[in-house]
Amino acid sequence: MKTEKISELTINRLSIYLRCLNELAGAGEATVSSRSLAERFNLNSAQIRKDLAYFGEFGIRGVGYYVEDLRQQLMRILGLLTTHRVAIIGAGNLGLALANYPGFSEKSFRIVAIFDVDPAKVGMKLRDGLTISRTDGLRETIERESVEIVILTVPAEVAEAVFNEVTGAGVRTVLNFAPVHLPPRPGVKVKTVDLSISLESLSHFLANPAGEPSGW
């Protein structure tokens, strides 16, 4: 494995490759070349080879990749061979939508707790074993439930305070939907999701319909 720093964009592309491989595996295909992977899913074959080369030698000359083997390797690299315990903070519309998002549980993420400050929401059962908890028991619940990942769906003005509380409780990975920049903290990885970025690639298309960007 190369020691140079691997970019977030490389990691995001591995997630995309994994989805393509899942589709190929579902269709019963055993092997695929980087060229045919690129053609079928509108990706770049040189980029695929370069991204995978960061992590080892996966291709076999004259064969390409073994689909199931590469899937397992990507799942290992992406940390998806174990299930991660996730807590959502903020049971507004977005928090509730994420609590019910079917894609998470299929992909090694298990929502084990959801919190809100609103007393009217606390105690509401969302589904088997998932009930909205009071935020004043946040730290205790995070420790008891061995939460590894926190999803922040709180209003912007309280995001930093909640972030400080959860990282203080030992959480090292935070997915932030609040439209604020959270301060860097050693050993903590924050990913801020900006839903308007997806809309901007559509407005680019509206402004430049001839130059339709490809793929993902």
- Residues at the contact surface with its own copies, assessed by CB under 8 A: 5-12, 14-16, 18-19, 44, 76-80, 84, 86, 92-94, 96-98, 100-104, 106-109, 148-149, 156, 172-175, 179, 187, 189, 191, 193-209, 211-216
Nearer to its own copies, 155 or 168 (CB): 155
CA–CA gap between residue 156 and residue 151 (Å, rounded): 13
Give the nearest distance from C-beta 129 to its own copies in angstroms.
Answer: 19
Give the nearest distance from C-beta 62 to its own copies in angstroms.
Answer: 29
HSE at residue 180, side-chain half, CA atoms within 13 A, is: 16
134 has which bridge partners?
A: 116
Nearer to its own copies, 1 or 62 (CB): 1
Nearer to its own copies, 137 or 213 (CB): 213
Nearer to its own copies, 60 or 216 (CB): 216
Distance of CA 75 to the CA centre of its chain: 13
Give the nearest distance from C-beta 61 to its own copies in angstroms.
Answer: 28
Nearer to its own copies, 137 or 179 (CB): 179
Furthest C-alpha separation in the chain: 63
CA–CA gap between residue 141 and residue 150 (Å, rounded): 12
Give the nearest distance from C-beta 63 to its own copies in angstroms.
Answer: 27
Give the nearest distance from C-beta 59 to its own copies in angstroms.
Answer: 21
CA–CA gap between residue 140 and residue 173 (Å, rounded): 17
Three-state DSSP state, 84: strand
Give the nearest distance from C-beta 187 to its own copies in angstroms.
Answer: 7
CA distances from 12 to 61, 99, 106 (A): 26, 22, 18
- Identity of the residue numbered 97: A
Query: Distance between the two ends of the chain, CA-based, in angstroms?
Result: 27
Nearer to its own copies, 122 or 180 (CB): 180
- Identity of the residue numbered 168: G
